[in-house]
């Protein structure tokens, strides 16, 4: 039944990754709603406590990188990216992921990672413009020397490209290698690869959100530097 | 056709050499620093992972090219 349903969806242009991504989003929403429903300050429930500890750790980590003010402003975006990418990467660890129709890690498709990277690209500009009160932000392209302008432009455009390629290449490559190992030796060897991919999924989610945080910090800090020099 | 397959293998194989050496050096230095100053381990680890990401992306470019070539075989 699911196979024929998935075929219909595929004919409509909806891929397995999109289905998995939607399911992940729904699961995350349900967890968030359940944990956030009648929150207690004195005696937090089990789920609330668990989520609070996780988010607290994540917040502390990003606070060390972005600083207090920026972390308070932009932690929702960065943290969401981390959690979403983590769940997407780990959805590839589920049994028969990639074989079963409708179950495929969304980050193994270039469309998903490109969408996130482009969002980060424009969000970085937004952060810069907001922190610098207007298009003064783009002056940083001429910052050290004006003749470096083309180079700075290339650097800016390469950022989303490398973000896309890094996440997509890692997850897709890992999926492909696991699949190849499975066809070679079905017992034993894929387990080793799966254990490695647990680590890989975490590191890639961390790297994506860490780089996003660093781009935001860089964009948001320009104003402070200018004020100091003036 | 055979040359395309060879090219795909070489693309990822050669692209893995440089970052492999680079990551080895970076990890070694980071561990050196952590052993000397265990209190700075957290910061070192974060920066090490960040540096790894940049090095790793070079291999990933090779891998992507390999996949592009592989689809032509």
The number of folded domains in chain A is 1
Domain boundaries, chain B: 10-70
**Could you say which of B50, B63, B64 has the minimum Cβ distance to residue A210?**
B50
CB contacts of A205 in chain B (<8 Å) are none
Condensed to tens digits (0 to 9), the pLDDT of residues A35-80 reads 888 777 787 788 888 899 999 999 999 998 888 888 898 999 999 9
- Decide if B64 touches A, using CB distance below 8 A: yes
Residue A226 has pLDDT above 70, yes or no: no
**Could you say which of B43, B49, B61 has the minimum Cβ distance to residue A207?**
B49
**pLDDT the model gives residue A15:** 82
Angle at A154 between CA A150 and CA A155, to 5 degrees: 115
Phi, psi of A99 (to 5 degrees): -95, -45
CB contacts of B45 in chain A (<8 Å) are none
Span B16-28, average pLDDT: 94
Q: Which CATH code for domain B10-70?
A: 1.20.20.10
Interface predicted TM-score (ipTM) of this complex, two decimals? 0.75
**pLDDT the model gives residue A36:** 82
- pLDDT classification of A145: cutoffs 50, 70, 90: confident
**pLDDT the model gives residue A229:** 40
Q: What's the rounded Cα separation, in Å, for the pair A213 and A65?
A: 7
- pLDDT classification of A105: cutoffs 50, 70, 90: confident
Span A82-91, average pLDDT: 93
Give the rounded percent of residues in chain A with a pLDDT score beyond 90: 27
CB A199 within 8 A of CB A206: no
Mean pLDDT computed over every residue of chain A: 84
**pLDDT the model gives residue A223:** 53
Tokens coding A144:
């050290």
- pLDDT classification of B26: cutoffs 50, 70, 90: very high
Full domain range(s) for residue A12:
2-229
């Amino acid at each position: 039944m699911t196979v024929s349903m998935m075929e219909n969806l595929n004919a409509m242009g909806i891929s397995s990754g999109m289905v998995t991504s939607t399911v992940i989003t729904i699961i995350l929403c349900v967890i968030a709603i359940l944990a956030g429903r009648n929150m207690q300050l004195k005696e937090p429930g089990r789920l609330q406590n668990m989520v609070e500890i996780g988010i607290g750790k994540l917040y502390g980590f990003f606070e060390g990188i972005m600083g207090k003010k920026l972390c308070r402003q932009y932690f929702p975006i960065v943290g969401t990216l981390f959690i979403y990418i983590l769940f997407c990467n780990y959805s590839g660890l589920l049994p028969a992921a990639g074989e079963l129709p409708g179950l495929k890690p969304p980050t193994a498709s270039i469309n998903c990672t490109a969408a996130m990277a482009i969002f980060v690209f424009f969000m970085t500009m937004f952060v810069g413009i907001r922190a610098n009160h207007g298009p003064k932000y783009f002056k940083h392209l001429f910052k050290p020397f004006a003749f470096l302008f083309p180079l700075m432009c290339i650097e800016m455009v390469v950022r989303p490209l490398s973000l896309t390629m890094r996440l997509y290449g890692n997850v897709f490559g890992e999926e492909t290698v696991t699949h190849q190992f499975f066809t070679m030796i079905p017992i034993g060897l894929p387990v080793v690869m799966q254990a490695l991919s647990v680590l890989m999924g975490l590191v890639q989610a961390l790297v994506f959100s860490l780089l996003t945080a660093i781009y935001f910090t860089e964009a948001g800090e320009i104003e402070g530097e200018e004020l100091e020099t003036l | 056709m055979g040359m395309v397959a060879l090219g795909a293998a070489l693309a990822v194989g050669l692209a893995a050499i440089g970052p492999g050496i680079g990551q080895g050096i970076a990890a070694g230095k980071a561990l050196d620093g952590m052993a000397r100053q265990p209190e700075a381990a957290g910061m070192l680890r974060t920066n090490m992972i960040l540096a790894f990401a940049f090095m790793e992306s070079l291999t990933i470019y090779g891998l992507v090219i390999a996949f592009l070539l592989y689809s032509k075989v």
